[in-house]
Structure 1
Amino acid sequence: MTTTETTTHPDTVVRANPARDTWNVLTRELKPVVRDPFTLIFSLVQPLVFLGLFGPLLVGTSGAPVGETLQWFVPGVLVMIVLFGTGATGSNLQYEMMTGSHERTLVAPLSRSSLLVGRALKEIAPIVVQALIIVLIAWPFGFTINWAGLVAGLVLLAVFGVGLGALSYTLALKTKDREWLFWGVQQTLIFPLLILSGMLLPLDEAPAWMRAVATVNPVNWVVQAERALFAGDLGAVQILWGWIAAVALAVVGLAVGVRAMRKSN
């Protein structure tokens, strides 16, 4: 009986390269979006409903001109897109875990951190496309565009979306095989964050306790920063606080997400 021993030369070992691996994961995650762009359009139904139905109510309540109301309301709608869109992306990872696709990626010669970072960066493309569509729809109705503020606002939304997406993926990893728990936690957190951000209604006349909670709500500061940017008030202090909130969320989200991905099995 003859036995054959197979050895692998060290030079043939594929070593993990975080930058290259992140790019590979990013392009892999973007392919379904490119193949089926209708999903981007369909996800705009909710913000368009708010823009078309809630916007006129604000005009009637405030008595302000349509353009002025849109100038206040549209930035909040853009943050809403990020909040609802990236906040639910963890469900895609849960589906991959249930079908076994995620387990196959774990044994691939990829760094574990890239599996999380690449997915989180993927959220930038839908955010930018959807935000531009909403802005273009509101433009003919009196919404004015400050182009420098628009670019800075889109970058801020992207940073915020990366952090929120990373947290959503982390929640999916922590609630593996318990889809109901993912949606329970997600819905429990999303709506208080939305209401206490002032994106739909001003909080100036809200109870003192609500205003106090809003001051520590990162979504509130991102909303205020977006309003200042789109209004062209590029020196407003709200922009600084918005960037602090978005960057802090991105750092925390990526840190806990990478840690959860490394522990995934």
Structure 2
Amino acid sequence: MKVLRDTWLIFQRNMLLMLRSPLWVVLGIAQPVVYLILFAPLLKPALNAPTMLDAYRVYVPGMLVALAIGGGLYVGFGLLGDLANGSIERARVTSVSRVALLLGRALRDVVTVLVQAVIITVLSLPFGLILNVGYILLGYAILALISLAAAAISYGIAIKVNNANVLGQVINNVAQPLMLLSGTLLPLTLAPLWLKTVADYNPFNWAVTGMRKLYAGYPGDVHVWGSIVFCGAVVVVAIVWSSSLFARSVK
């Protein structure tokens, strides 16, 4: 219970700090909106989609997963900043759980991604995207798992390297293959067999496929529930790994 209470307190503090800088909303969705307007229309002829609605049902879910992966993986820079300015050091003298210090931050990052996802979904409606509200909420649950896993991984790497320049290189080397093997921009049904075989072992590829099935109106598809199971497993492993690193580094 103490960990849960401390996590909630840290989450509240980080949310208040974030709300003081509302510019994050614009910066977070600027690039996805540009892709939504300029890239998504190209998918209709490229995929031989019957309508633009079909094209957006392919593109928007992939873009949301890319937002969750990218938004989560780059939060480690904030942790390095707090380590440098001494805010984490000051927390050492309190009785707050070390695990809660990490989880509270990660949950703040999840809320950030979900708010951005809601905005992008609303902006997609004028382009003809029509969705079932229940399917959208289930999709957001998948996005929350992805964001939480990515944030935990980013915090773990940040603690491990403890250098912003090195962190940037490592995150780029992790993010690019993850996104390419997830089919976030184009479905991997267009890929050669060897690439599809490799992608089958990527939990985030299951998430993208599951999201697309949801947006197409198939909530019972194996990829929907498989993505929840696989991404949930990644969340557990990532949190255990990053929490152990954080607990050892912040005594």
Indicate which of 235, 238, 242 corresponds to 2:227.
242
Which residue in the other structure is 1:72 paired with? 58
2:27 corresponding residue in structure 1: 42
Q: Does 1:193 align with 2:192?
A: no
Within the candidate set 187, 204, 207, 2:189 is matched to 204
Alignment partner of 1:255 out of 233, 240, 243 = 240
Which deviations, in whole Å up to 9, do the C-alpha atoms of 1:125-164 show, x marking residues without a partner? 1122111111111111111111110011111111221111
Residue 85 (structure 1) aligned with residue 71 (structure 2): yes
- The percentage of aligned residue pairs carrying the same residue is 34
Is contact 1:163–1:253 with CA below 8 Å preserved after alignment? yes
Partner of 1:219: 204
Counterpart of 1:218 in structure 2: which amino acid?
P
TM-score (normalised: structure 2): 0.95
Following superposition, the deviation at residue 214 of structure 1 comes to 0.4
Question: What letter matches 1:104 in structure 2?
Answer: R
**Displacement of 1:243:** 0.6
Note if contact 1:164-1:249 (Cα within 8 Å) is conserved in structure 2: no
Gapped runs of 5+ residues in structure 1?
1-15
Q: Does 1:233 align with 2:201?
A: no
Render the CA deviation track for 1:42-87: whole Å, top value 9, x for unaligned: 1111211221121122123234211110011100111111111111
1:93-137 deviations in Å (ceiling 9; x for gaps): 001111222211223221111011111111221122111111111
Which residue of 1 is the match for residue 94 of structure 2? 108
**1:123/1:158 contact within 8 Å kept:** no
Aligned to 2:158: 172
Q: Which runs of 5+ in 2 are unaligned?
A: none
Provide the residue aligned with 1:30 in structure 2. 15
C-alpha contact 1:148 1:232 (8 A) present in aligned 2: no
Q: Structure 1: how far apart are the matches of 2:177 and 2:200?
A: 13
Q: Which has the larger radius of gyration?
A: 1
Q: Which AA in structure 2 matches 1:191?
A: Q
Of 86-95 and 107-116, more deviation after overlay is shown by 107-116
Q: Which amino acid aligns with 2:38?
A: L
> 1: CA distance between counterparts of 2:225 and 2:80?
35
Matches of 1:133 and 1:198, distance apart in 2: 22
**What number of residue pairs does the alignment pair up?**
249
Residue among 31, 54, 71 paired with 2:39: 54
Instruction: For residue 30 of structure 1, report the CA deviation from its aligned partner.
Output: 0.6
| Cα pair 2:58 2:187 within 8 Å, conserved | no
RMSD: 1.4
Q: Does 1:95 align with 2:81?
A: yes
Deviates more, 1:85-94 or 1:52-61: 52-61
Aligned to 1:143: 129
Cα distance, 1:204–1:231 mapped onto 2, change above 3 Å:
closer
Structure number with the higher helix fraction is 2
Q: CA shift at 1:234, angstroms?
A: 1.2
TM-score computed with the length of structure 1 as normaliser:
0.90
